[in-house]
Structure 1
């Protein structure tokens, strides 16, 4: 397997990669309306990109309040623990910033993935963009 790395991205300099990944996963695959995918939170978020060698294959973001979101991995790279690497980077950065409690809105199918990372369900199931979700929270370091 080629080398997978994750780094903090710059919303402006890395915008093409961030948009390419999120458009492919959320807008095209999951049919999330573009007006729901792109929001004002992107400007204030810490963004993360996962790379296979020099090619960006995954993205995520961390908001100033500890909310992690927009975790996305291109279809051909799933199953390689890239989502986990993105989440570990986001959790570590949150804790570095003193955000010991992280939270997210998870698609129901992904609950076991987030539970393995220490998150627990914190809401009833609800629909967001027509997709079943739950709120999850992690009380870290």
Structure 2
């Protein structure tokens, strides 16, 4: 059964770091110096567990930005990313954010759109990869 644990980098960094290294540095070729930043220390880190194996991670920055979403290749297309995303959206609501935003890699735009995120602005490049800013309104909609 899939389980999502949320904690600070001091606790979940041990589990998130190897997943991010595998996906971003080894698989996608992002320079190591670009992967690690000061936001890790102040973010809430979600780690997805399956049968006591850490298989995915994402983080929520204090300003309501979701990032560093990574799922190990053999566990993709099984709802792990959705579980991580929904968990962090819930945490953002608990923290009182009126919206969350993220910079989606271009191949993931449709994934985020299926979860209600709306693209904004022009596509841009980060670490040599095409990205798109997207946002999700967390305020209750009036009918």
Q: TM-score, normalised by structure 1?
A: 0.95
SS in 1 for 2:55: strand
Query: Is the contact made by 2:6 and 2:12 (CA closer than 8 Å) also made in structure 1?
Result: no
Per the alignment, residue 126 of structure 2 pairs with: 128
Per the alignment, residue 59 of structure 2 pairs with: 61
User: Deviation per CA, 1:71-125, whole angstroms, max 9, x where unpaired?
Assistant: 0000111111100000000000000100120000000110110001110001211
SS in 2 for 1:15: helix
Question: 1:10 Cα shift?
Answer: 3.3
Query: Is the contact made by 2:46 and 2:58 (CA closer than 8 Å) also made in structure 1?
Result: yes
Q: TM-score, normalised by structure 2?
A: 0.94
Per the alignment, residue 117 of structure 1 pairs with: 115
Equivalent pairs, count: 139
Per the alignment, residue 35 of structure 2 pairs with: 37
Query: Is the contact made by 2:8 and 2:41 (CA closer than 8 Å) also made in structure 1?
Result: no
Per the alignment, residue 97 of structure 1 pairs with: 95
Question: 1:53 Cα shift?
Answer: 1.8
Cα separation, partners in 2 of 1:22 and 1:88, compared to 1, 3 Å = same
The yes-or-no answer on 1:27 pairing with 2:25 is: yes
Per the alignment, residue 48 of structure 2 pairs with: 50
Q: CA RMSD in A?
A: 0.9
SS in 2 for 1:13: helix
Q: Structure 1 runs of 4+ off > 4 angstroms?
A: none
